[in-house]
Structure 1
Amino acid sequence: MKLIISMILFFSSSTSVFAHGMTDADKLLAHNGSNGQFFELGASHMLTGYDHLLFLFGVIFFLTKFKDVFLLITAFTIGHSVSLIFATFWSITADYYLIDAIIALTICYKGFENINGFKKYFDLKVPNINLMVFLFGLIHGFGLSTRLQQLPLDEEGLLLKIISFNLGVEIGQILALSLMLVILIIFRKTKIFIKISKLLNVCLILVGFLLLLMQLHGYQHTHYLDDFPFNIHEHQHLHKISAAVESNTSQKRDISEFEIKEGTWHTHDDGESHFH
């Protein structure tokens, strides 16, 4: 239990570390950038887009026929290309933390489907996989669009830049999928594949859930500044203290004060805890 709590606190307090948004270097590159530079940006963004890659890993995990891989990846590609291009060109956007939170749920969904969770736990028929992957592709593409729209996009030649970015995403996707397929092909030949395949997909669900918490945490701290006015350093200290409180409380210790570098977290007679 302590391990799970520690993981949740670590992920939720590390939004900036695990984020894969556009950096200042990306913004500088995009300023009057060429189509080729947008292509490179798309490829690098996909290769570092752990949420997209985790979902794709779940999609191909049990696929052994090239035809099945091709059909599902094509459905995903069409979906994310349509939403990426149209949403960016028409400046349709949303809060990227919330979109990334939904993307995290798609990871949970695929892992849950892979362990036959819908049938086993809810006695439900699994929705058409091709349709679901296409719909999830639309969501992933919209997520890519919200990130792309963080860049200074000049209206001149905008469509070609968006298409170049999307082509870069496709190349990055092909490279990542190729590596995943090679690993899975080798892994399936081992005796332990069947034994730990369920465990790996349970881990996929867990990671998706942690990413969901991370994105909702980021949304909370960017939209409710009155409730969360402290800076990132204080933020990390409070998370560490919260973990310490949880640990010591479970051991039934009476904690009245924690000293840290920038201040003190303590309680008064009224039982209210605060930091200064």
Structure 2
Amino acid sequence: MKIFLTSLFLLLLPAVMLAHGVSSADHATLVDGGLAAYVLVGAKHMLTGYDHLLFLLGVLFYLSGFRDILRFITVFTLGHCITLIGATYLGVTADEHLVDAVIALSVAYKGFENLNGFERVFKAPAPDLLFMVFAFGLIHGFGLSTRLQSFELGADQFLAKILSFNVGVEVGQVLALIPIVFVLKKIQQAKQYPVFYKVVNIGLIVAGAALLAYQLYGFFSSYNSTVEAGPQSLIGY
């Protein structure tokens, strides 16, 4: 039981981390550090990106072999690389609360799917997982892009900065996945695994719903503040 609780804590640890927003320290690092700083901040962003990691945790629960893990993580990575690089380069933006709300929904979705929610509730098979992982990867990448675009990138080495940040994100993702996969493989051998599986996936649903509510609250609060500030402040909202 001690091993079970320790594993549960390690797997859900990202959920109790601080939000992975843009800090003044990150901005100072990018201003002073060059391309290497973008790699560093990208890795840090992913390692503290609890919503991204919770979604990946939900995906990994479904997979058994290394080949499957590699295939699904590659598809997810391809998805978020497309929107991270493309949206940032083209300057496509959206309200970060709404983007993060959809990411939160992806966390709840994966927990719901892992518990056979589609069969139990809708009496229908779940959508193709590989396609959904790719689709959510696109959304997660757009979320990463909104964070990167909150920095002042400047015109100098613009594409190189985007690519460097993306490399950092991939490094952070690998570093985060190693302990998650290790713990999952260990706990799968324990008698308590069925209970562990159910509890953690219920936790994903609850965490996703809570994050969704939090982000929607943030969106409507910021929107109301903008409206109260006057019509002029709505330009470009």
Aligned length: 213
Larger radius of gyration: 1
Per residue, is there more helix in 1 or in 2?
2
Residue range with higher mean Cα deviation, 91-100 or 119-128:
119-128
Q: List alignment gaps of at least 5 residues for structure 2.
A: 1-16, 230-237
CA distance in 1, matches of 2:149, 2:227: 28
Contact 1:115 1:201 in 2 (8 A): yes
Q: Tell me the equivalent position of 1:216.
A: 216
Q: Mapping of 1:151-166 within 5 angstroms?
A: 151-166=151-166
Contact 1:26 1:151 in 2 (8 A): no
Could you say if the C-alpha distance between residues 60 and 155 of structure 1 is closer, same or farther in structure 2, counting changes exceeding 3 Å? same
- Write the letter of the residue equivalent to 1:150: S
Q: Tell me the equivalent position of 1:169.
A: 169
Task: Provide the secondary structure at the position in 1 that maps to 2:152.
Answer: coil
- Write the letter of the residue equivalent to 2:135: L
Q: List alignment gaps of at least 5 residues for structure 1.
A: 1-16, 230-276
Task: Provide the secondary structure at the position in 2 that maps to 1:225.
Answer: helix
Tell me how far 1:31 sits from its aligned partner: 2.4
Q: Mapping of 1:1-276 within 5 angstroms?
A: 18-31=18-31, 33-225=33-225
Task: Provide the secondary structure at the position in 2 that maps to 1:203.
Answer: helix
Contact 2:97 2:219 in 1 (8 A): yes
CA distance in 2, matches of 1:26, 1:140: 20
RMSD: 1.6
Contact 1:39 1:165 in 2 (8 A): yes
Contact 1:30 1:152 in 2 (8 A): no
Spell out, residue by residue over 1:85-118, the C-alpha distance to the aligned partner (whole angstroms, 9 max, x if none): 0100111000001100000000011001100100
CA distance in 2, matches of 1:228, 1:104: 28
Identity, % of aligned positions? 47
Spell out, residue by residue over 1:135-173, the C-alpha distance to the aligned partner (whole angstroms, 9 max, x if none): 000000000000110101111111111111001000100
- Write the letter of the residue equivalent to 2:128: N
CA distance in 1, matches of 2:134, 2:211: 21
User: Taking structure 1 as the reference length, what is the TM-score of the superposition?
Assistant: 0.74
CA distance in 1, matches of 2:29, 2:65: 40
